[in-house]
Amino acid sequence: MKKIAVLGCGTVGSGVVEVFYKNRSSIQKKSGCDMDIKYIYLRRAHPELLTQYPDLHLEEKFCFDFDTIANDPEINIVVEVMGGIDPAYHFVKTCLQKGKSVATANKELIANKGAELLSIAKQNHVNILFEASVGGGIPIIRPLHQCLGANEIDDIQGILNGTTNFILTKMIRENMNFADALSLAQKLGYAEADPTADVEGLDACRKICILASLAYGKQINPQWVSCEGISKITAEDVEYAKDWGGVIKLIGKATRDEQTQKIAMMVAPMFVPQESQLSTVDDVFNGILVTGDATGEVLFYGKGAGKLPTASAVMSDVIDCAKATDTIDTLYWEDGDGSELADLSLLPSRFYLRFQMQYSQQLSWLEHSFCHAEFLARKNQPQTEAALVTDSMTPEHLDLLLQSAKKEGITLLSKIVVL
């Protein structure tokens, strides 16, 4: 019999327990062995769990001492759903060193420590699996290293955070401003009381780093990646995007240059054209578009978070851990130093720009300076406001133009990359 320990029993952890006991028979059949949860590690008492699952007698499984789990030879598989790096990093590392496989949903841990933990797992002939770390219940990690394994991955771009996508959807469909849409997301439980990790792009950045590390074989840490959130997006920007023929989405993007093999990465709100499959991914749904040299574009779509979808992904990893006789060697990347990343200031892009002019005659200066730009319009547009989408240019060149505009007394209100 395979014995499991669950580290953490919050939203996802309680979902793992629920899914395991609800579907235990089929899980055991797919694993090829009998299984049970022996320990549920808690840092504090959770009496509500006892009333939530009265028939499971969870009090007999509660454990408040991690060393008990680490030193128990009966524990074969550890589920880590605590989140964060401390103490999760120490716990996971210790379990791997003691020959226990780990299934985790911890995106921050994998994005920052993935190469090291994968190496330790390999040394000890066990596995660390993390399907639930990106996309919740959407299968994406396993397809990347198995189903798409014969491909060179040219590009990954995705809506990787359901909270920000819900907020932007409300701004697009119902003309809400950012603050009201965020407040609604918090009321509905989609956003935390402190929404910083979501709205400032940190969560999406961790996820695109995991996908890029797996696709390109080198650890890419989030702190190396340009990251911008949606807190500065206005209702006016949304209107101009509609006039242009698209929508605004928070996009995580990783693209490998064919010639230099450098990887261009960023997380930022972007103008997404209606022709893109990502433009129709709304509300709390995620969409991840992967382009392989053999397959072309493949879209992965579904709810990117939630108790049961994420727990489902964790349990699929538990099944794989139970079936594996050694380390799954296709799930691996090496340590990196950031030298694989391209300098974004030198890479051409198109940009949406919104300006505040002191007087309407300054529009002619903008039309002359951005002579190949597409100028946009919105309802009740003030005469002293101008919006445009540039032709392709480097951020370095754009900065020079914006400095000139500032000298002319023209104020930049918004700048958004075009996907």
Give the pLDDT score at 44: 79
Q: Are the beta carbons of 270 and 417 closer than 8 angstroms?
A: yes
DSSP 8-state class, residue 59? G
Peptide bond into 87 cis (omega under 30): yes
Give the pLDDT score at 305: 79
Look-up of token digits 């450098």: 262
Of residues 267, 314, 26, 284, the one with CA closest to residue 142? 314
Give the pLDDT score at 411: 98
Of residues 204, 206, 166, the one with CA closest to residue 188? 166
Active site residues: 207
345-418 is classed CATH 3.30.70.870: yes
List where CATH 3.30.70.870 sits in the chain.
345-418
Give the pLDDT score at 70: 98
Give the pLDDT score at 409: 96
Give the pLDDT score at 201: 97
Of residues 265, 269, 268, 271, the one with CA closest to residue 253? 265
| Ranges under pLDDT 70 in the chain | 46-50
Give the pLDDT score at 275: 96
Give pLDDT tens digits for 276-329: 999 999 999 999 999 999 999 999 999 887 889 999 999 999 999 999 999 999
From the CA atom positions of the chain, what is the Rg in Å? 24
CATH architecture, domain 148-303: 2-Layer Sandwich (3.30)
- Burial class for 153, CB neighbours closer than 10 Å (0-12, 13-18, 19+): buried
CA–CA separation, 381 vs 276, rounded Å? 27
DSSP 8-state class, residue 334? B
Q: Are the beta carbons of 317 and 145 closer than 8 angstroms?
A: no
Give the pLDDT score at 50: 66
Give the pLDDT score at 45: 72
Give the pLDDT score at 114: 98
CA–CA separation, 2 vs 74, rounded Å? 8
Give the pLDDT score at 26: 97
Q: Are the beta carbons of 237 and 352 closer than 8 angstroms?
A: yes
List where CATH 3.40.50.720 sits in the chain.
2-136+308-323
Overall CATH class of domain 2-136+308-323: alpha beta
User: Taking the model in full, what pTM does it have?
Assistant: 0.95
